[in-house]
Structure 1
């Protein structure tokens, strides 16, 4: 019916889109494996409107589906300048060529690109505002980049990822579940300079001394988040990271201070050696400490080890995950006399599911 005439096409396409599940909203376009081929028809209808936000569920997509999606995105380049502000992708099968899709999104002038390994409803798009001093005519327009998949650092895609990090005016960067070793983390962060970066997220497999050196070279960063990673980090690796930082980094960074750091979150075992090296400002707005089930340290001592680096904390968040900690972890040592200078304290307890909040007490 859509091939007979323009009138037939406009009459038949709404029913066709409904049958394949293509959801078209005012600014959002939600895509999955069943709707990729319908995009080519949608772009030729009278009701077509270039989307501002794109959400792609790539589970079950084939090479044919991905080709249709790329052709649709390429067709947007001639419609208007930078029609899509943000793209969120998730659940790509191993055979999907993310490099080609990522390149098309970059060429489109997108401001924000997020890849998540699963569909998280709480994953909300953040449309960044232009950073003062950024070049509007830059080769790449990405201000926010979030990658949550080892594929972006595989041999066939790594060069594109590195080029993106080097030619984009990024203000927010998140690199988690990368599959990188400590040596590769060091090589990656040494080769990248992001003068406009304000928010950074890495996982615990990035060694603290490597992150410390990167932060010292990027004094404008105000938010740092340490993601727990896909698997728990063995205790011996935690101790090794701490010892290595103390032996190699403290002497090199004793005069470095991060006065812009206002938000810091992550496991206490990671933050202790990190803070010993970066020397943050004495006051911090938000400090978030995370305790996992396999933690063997005393929780209260661990909290004090982190908070001793600050003379004032506006909001302190203590999050306990899996809710099966040993009761000895909560003992208060008899010889402990340190205090926590926090104005607001919130304690939350989570179940086995990371998204399962059992209780939160301010």
Structure 2
């Protein structure tokens, strides 16, 4: 009888402990869900519920291949936007409880709503599935996508007749492109490589492999020093143009209220990165130092005149002097706008 009593008492103790573990994890989960939309800023302290703190001997956070006991939003540990983390709670009883969570980190400064005025319109070949778009003088350099239709071409702004057009093989899906001195760099979507052409003739000079961390090629621009690449995630990569397989640094992108991924066509101008967000009629102005969105241009009124489905979306940013020039996949128009 005594043995049965002891076993029963132990079972109740284990059950109580399991229930307490579950209660603590539920409390932590409720806290994390409540904070997810509100988000954090760099320097904020995670104000975990007191019940969780009292139950724990130690708490760490795992993010990627890193782990930290610092419950502060540290820019050396977290990045802007979504951070998929795991809380590791070592209880005073010696167990380790784990719970996954998403920590959103937003920019501190409010993003400016940027207005614009359309000052010119130009024809654009509606067959062109625009992936990369630059203007040099009055010459447009355009990278068009789709398997079997991918190409790099040039034409005069105001005309739709190509000056030079270089087609890619069937298996290539071309993506973003940019001018670097006397060369043009062009990405591919899922082929894990890019091309380098002579700017004057569009003769293919060489190819380069993507760094392992980059899964896909989306947008590409150049800041006068580094190539700047997007891959459809929240991350923007800075690459060495003399060795584009080398990542120099990265930033993640977020405004004061929202983290952004699916960053697509890119353009660098006057110290800012401008980025389309795929399937959204907006262009983000991004601080290249830290990834903070400092301005948002809403091109809904232009996009709705040109978009009828999921493919023909805004996807082209260039500059003609200080004026922004935009177009989209399969659009019949190019728009020159004054940014205010």
Q: Report the TM-score, using the length of structure 2 for normalisation.
A: 0.23
Q: Which has the higher strand share?
A: 2
Q: Report the TM-score, using the length of structure 1 for normalisation.
A: 0.22
In terms of Rg, which structure is larger? 2
